[in-house]
Amino acid sequence: QVQFVESGGGLVQPGGSLRLACAASGSIFSISTMGWYRQAPGRQRELVAHISSSGNTSYADSVKGRFTLSRDNANNTVYLQMNSLKPEATATYYCYAHHTGPSGPPRTYWGQGPQVTVSS
């Protein structure tokens, strides 16, 4: 089992910044991709960004140039720096990790989801 400790959500004004952190723990054998999805009320969950174990990143077009995803492999932690936030970024942000154990198929684990609200 893999668990997450997430932090950094909250209320911020448009144009402001927030930094989300997600630390995976538990019976970790091998984590490949980690990243964040978000889901706003009444909308489908969408991929925000993900990062491979080697550090390759990919971003949704809507956040490119404003969000930066980084990773600390030693501590199984990812950080999402969000700058120039817009009201449409208001959502619950879910951390995830693709985990491969010593046996069985790979599995995706999800965090609880910090809330991000961008409003004046």
pLDDT of residue 37: 98
CA 83, 24, 60, 92 torsion: positive or negative?
Answer: negative
Please give the pLDDT value at position 104: 84
- Calculate what percentage of the chain has a pLDDT beyond 70: 100
Q: How far apart are CA 46 and CA 25, in angstroms?
A: 24
pLDDT at 1: 85
Torsion of Cα atoms, 60 then 64 then 67 then 69, to 10°:
70
pLDDT score at 82: 98
Question: Distance (Å, rounded) from C-alpha 20 to C-alpha 38?
Answer: 12
pLDDT of residue 119: 97
Low-confidence ranges of the chain (pLDDT < 70): none
- Are the C-beta atoms of residues 48 and 38 closer than 8 Å to each other? yes
